[in-house]
Chains A and B, each alone.
Chain A
Amino acid sequence: MAAQSASPRTLFDKIWDDHIVRTDEHGTALLYIDRQLVHEVTSPQAFEGLRLAGRKPRRPEANLAVPDHNVPTSDRHLGIVDPISRLQVETLEANCREFGIQLFAMGDPRQGIVHVIGPEQGLTQPGMTVVCGDSHTSTHGAFGALAFGVGTSEVEHVLATQCLLQRKPKSMLVSVEGALGRGITAKDIVLAIIGEIGTAGGTGHVIEYAGEAISALSMEGRMTVCNMSIEAGARAGLIGIDEKTVDYLRGRPQSPTGDGFEQAADYWRSLNSDPGAEYDRVVRIDAASIRPQVTWGTSPEMVVPIDSEVPDPDAVADPVKAGSYRHALTYMGLEPLTPIAEIGIDKVFIGSCTNGRIEDLRAAAEVAKGRHIAASIKLAMVVPGSGLVKEQAEAEGLDQVFIDAGFEWRDPGCSMCLAMNADRLEPGERCASTSNRNFEGRQGQGGRTHLVSPAMAAAAAVAGRFVDVREF
C-alpha cells in the first residue's frame, strides 16, 4: 500500500546513502566526510603529506584539533617535559596555524580528549559522517552519526578531499532488551556484549545498538557503549536519535542556532531505522542478565562477571583460544579458577574517552564519598575527559570527594589509558582501569590491566581488590 516501493532502511543505510558522492565500477563509494577531529599523534605525517604534494585542506573549518595523548595531567605550568612529546604537540600547533585549523591548545579550558570534546562542543551531530585518526571515534555514534577511526593516510585524504574511498560495511543490530539491574552501567553492557560476540565479532560491520536498556541510557552512557564498538571489532557503533539526543545538543557552541536548530532537529528525528529494516546479523542480549564486568586477560573479550572466576584454559576446546588464554594468564600473573573478588590491585585509573565524562566521575565519587582508598593502593587517579568536565566536577565538589578519599585529581587527557605521557604502570603492577584496552603493555610495559566501570574502579580502590559494587 505504500506510495513508495523503497524498502525499509537502517539508520546506517540512511547516513551512508546521504553521503555518497559517487560509486565506482568496483562498488567502492566516494563518501563525503562532514567533520574530522585531529590529534597530535596520528596527524603530523598527514600534514607533511599535504605539504610535500603542495595540497591544502579542502574545508579547514570542518576540522577541529586538540592535543590529548601526550599531554601531562599534572604540573601543567611546567609544560611538556619529555622533548619528543613536546615536539609532537608543537608540531600540531604549527600545522594548525599553517593550514588554518581550529585548535584547542593545552592551556585552553576546552582542551580534552578528542572524543569527549567533540560531543561537548556540539560538533558531533546526528546524521553526520565523522572521522578521526583514532579508533575510538566510534564514540560519536551515540548521536546517530556514522563515526569511525582512520589511519594517517586517510586523515590526509580527508584533509585534502573531504572524502574517503570506502566499501559499505555490513550491518549488525545488538539489542539489549529489558531493564538493567541496580548498579549496572553502560560499561558493563558493552563489556558483556564484547564477551558475548568476541573481539572480532563486529569485524566488517557497523553495529547499531538498540533495545530498552540502550534507550534508557543517558547520552554519556551511550557514548561509553559506542566507544568500545572497536573492541568488538566494529569500526563504528550507532544509536538512533531520540529527544535525549536533541536535548543534549541544544545550546552547544557548535550546534545549529535559532530556527536552524529546529530545522536540523526535524531532520535528525527522521534518522532512525525504519520498522522492518534488515540487518546482516542480529544479537539479542537480556539486560537483566548483565552483572558488573571485570576483564581478567589481555583482550577485552576475556571478561567475566565479578562474582565468578578466572577461566581454566584446560577447559577450552579450541587450541588457538586455549593458547591465548595461557599466554594471557602468564602475562597477567593469574592462576586458573581464582575468584575475581580475590584479585588485589596496585593502581586505579578513572578516566579515558570511555569513562572520563561527568556522569562517570559522579558514579565514582558516589562510591568514594566518605571512604578512603586502601593502604595497599600505590596510586589512584581521576583524570577528567576535558577541561570543561573538570570545571563541572569541581563545581559539584567531586574533586574534593576524590581528594578526601585519597585519589589524585588531575588535568584532562588520555593519560594512563595508553601511557604515552608520564602516567603509567610499572612492570607487574595491577590496575583497575575504566579505559578500553587491556592489551599487554598498554598501560606501561609489563603492566596488568583489568577493565571495569567507574563505580567498580572506585570500589576496588577502597577495598584494595575487586568487589561487587552492588554489595558495597
Chain B
Amino acid sequence: MSPDPVPAVVPAPRDLAADATPIGDAPGIEQARALGLTDAEYALVTEKLGREPVQVELAMFSLMWSEHCAYKHSKKLLVTLPTEGPAMVLGPGENAGAVDVGDGWTVAFKVESHNHPSAVEPFQGAATGVGGILRDIFALGARPIAVLDALRFGDVDATDENGDPTPGAVRSRFLLDGAVRGIGHYGNSIGVPNIGGDVYFEDPYETNCLVNAMALGLLRRERLTLSAATGVGNVVVLFGASTGADGIGGASVLASAELGDDDADKRPTVQVGDPFEESKLVECTLELLERELLVSVQDLGAAGLTSSASEMASKGEVGLDLDVALVPRRQSGLEPFEVMVSESQERMLCIVTPERLDEVIAITDKWDVHGTAIGVVTDTRRFRVFDGDDLVGDMPVPALVDDCPLYDIFPEKPAGGPASIYPAPQARLARDASSTDALLALLSSANIADRRPLFEQYDPVVQSRTVKRPGEAAAAVLQVPGPAGRRAVVGGLAGPTDVAAESDPDRAIPGVGVSIDGSGRRVAADPYAGTLWNVLECASNLACVGAEPLGLTNNLNFGNPEKPHIAWQLTESVRGLGDGCRAVGAPVVGGNVSLYNEGTTGPIFPTPVVGIVGKVPDVRRAVGTGFVRDGDVVARVGAFVPQLGLSEIARLEGRDLPDGLPDWNVDRIVEGIVAVREAVRAGSLSSATDIAEGGLLVALAEAAIAGGRGARVTVEPADGDDPERTALFGEAPGGFVVTGSRDALAALAESVPVAILGEVGGDRLTVDAAGETIDVSLGDLADAHGALARHFG
C-alpha cells in the first residue's frame, strides 16, 4: 500500500450542449475502405451518427464492425450450437465460459487464436496469445490454473531433390521453435502450468500457422464477475501497463499508414508481452475482487479500449465518457484514436463506485499496476471520447456494438473435391513397405513423434494440481480445487489451505480432465464428419482418465468465408460440431472464430479446434497411456471401424485426401466412450489410450514406449480392400487400446465390443498379423518416436 495515498480525482460527466459535435474533419469514405469497411457499412455508420464519422469514430467503428469483433460472417452459424447443460454456469458472450465442477467450485475456460501475429513474429505472437487468454480468465474473477495449446505448422520434414530441407520446412521449423519458446516464456514466467495440447505439421499451414491457446481458471461460484458497466456516476479505472502504439494494426483491420501518419509504417504491428506485468495483474485483479471493490471488470484485448469499454457499456445498457488525456502513456505524441485502438498488452478496465476509488487505487499501487480513473458511467447510452476538454468522438453504444450488419455466406461444395484445393503431400513411404518399416516411419513422422521436446520447455507442475502431466495420459488431469483449497483463488494467496484434510487417505480427490484436439486433415476431407470426429476424439481422450464432459470451447480456424468452398467448409463444420457436442453431452461455453487464414499457397486446412473440460470424481483412479503390469490383457475396445483413406499412413504415402469420410454409428461410438470412462472410474483398468493417428499399431507402440514394457499381440484382419493394413494402420473415431485383468475386460465386453489382442510383457512389441510378424524392441520404438528432438537444437 502507498504510505501516503493522495485521494484520486473522480471524473465528472461532461455537460455538453445537445447539439455538440466532435471536433475535426471526417476522414471520408476512402479511409473507411482502407480500414476495411464496405461502402454500405460506411453509409450505415453515417446514418447511425447523422453525419460522417470523425477520425476517432471511424477508427472505432472499423474495429467494432470488423470480423474479429463482430463475427459478421459466422454469428448466424454459431447460434445453432448447443449451449445448455446441467453443469453450465456461464455460456457464450462473456470473457470466457464456465462450468460447475461441484462443491461450489467453478472452472472457467476458453480457447482463442493468435494466428496472424504468430505467423509474423512467432515468439511474441504466441506469448501474447497466452497472455490474452489468461486475461479473459481472470477477468471473470478466476485464478488461471492451466494452459493448453493447439499448434499447426507447415511440414518440417519436407525435402528437396537433394534431400535438404525445403525453404518451407526451414520456415516452419523457425515458426515452431519461436512459438514454443513464446508459449513457454509467458506461461512459465507467470506461474500457470502448461498441461497439454496438440501439434500437427501439414503443408497448408506453411504460410499461415495456427497458434490457439486455451486456459482454465478456478473460482468460487459466488466470485463470478461479469463485465457489464453499471451505476451512473461510477468511475472507469484503467490499470496495468501504460499505453503505447504497439499493436495498432495488429489483430485489427486498422493499418495506421492509411490514416496518413508518416511514421506509422515503422511501428510494430505485433504486440509485445510482459508476463511479469501480467502476473501482478492477476494477483491485483483477484485481490480487488476478493475485497469486493469492483462493480465489474474486463480485460483489454483486440481493439484495446475501444472494444472493452464499448462492450462493458453495451452489457450494462449505459453510456461512457472517457478522457484519453488521462490514459497513462509509454510514449508521447499518440493521437486520440491511437489511444482508443492501441493493443498494448497487460491492461484491465474496471468499474468502481466513487466511494471505493481510493481503496482500488491503493491496491493497484500495492501490486505496481497503478490504476487511473479515465472516465465515468453515464445514462446517455452514448460512448463519448474526450481529449481534455475537446469532444473527439460521440457514438451511440448500440450502433458500435450491436448494429454491425451480419452476412449470409454462400456455401458450395468444391466440384473437384478436397484434392482440388489441397495438393497431395510429399510421399515418404513406399506403398509396398513392410508393416515394420511403416510402423517406424509413422512413429518418427512429425505428426506422431513424441511431443516431449516441446512440452519439456513448459512448466507442468506449478500450483500443485497436476496429477497427469503431458505425455503421461490421453488427457491432462488436475485435482480441483487441489490442496491449496480456497487459498488458491485469492489474490495475494491469503487464506487457509486444505492440507489438514490430507490425513484421510481414503477420501476421494476430485478433479478435471482436459484435452484439446483438432486435426484439420480429416476436416478437409469431410468438414461435417471430420469435425464430429474431432469432438469424439476429445471425449475419448477424456474417457481414458475417467472424465465426463462438462462443457466445450472451440476455435474455428478457417479461410476466407466469402469464398463458396470455404463457406461450405465452415457451414458443414459447425453442423458437425453441434452434432458432436450433443452426442458427447458437451455444451459450448464459448470460443473464438479466426477467418481469412489464407497464405500465399491457399487456404489452411479447415481447423475447428475443440477443448473439453470433464469431471473426474477421483483423480487417483485416472490411468495413463502406458502398459503398467506384465500379464495384463491388451484389448482393442469400442465401435471402431478403421479405414485407410484418411490416415497418417496414406499421408506418408503421398496420397490425395479422400472426398468424404464413411458414416459411423455415432451412438455406438459414444456407448464405447461411456463404457471406457466408467471402467476407469471404477478402477478396473490398468491403462487406456485412444486409437488416433497411425491407427492400432501406433497406439500399441506408444503404450509400450510409455510404459517401458513390451507386449505380444495378434491382430485379425479388418473389413475392406486391404484387410491387414486396415487393421494395423486404419483410423476412425471410437477405438481404444486398454489393458487390465481378464475379468475386467470380460466385464467391459458386456457393454461394448472388446477384441482381446494379447498380453503385456517383455521388452519387445511383437504383433502377429495375418502371416506377417512385426517384432521391434522397445529401444528401437523409442528411438523412432524421439524424432522431433532434431528440430530443437
Partners in one complex: no
Residues in B lying within 8 Å of A, measured CB to CB: none
Residues in A lying within 8 Å of B, measured CB to CB: none
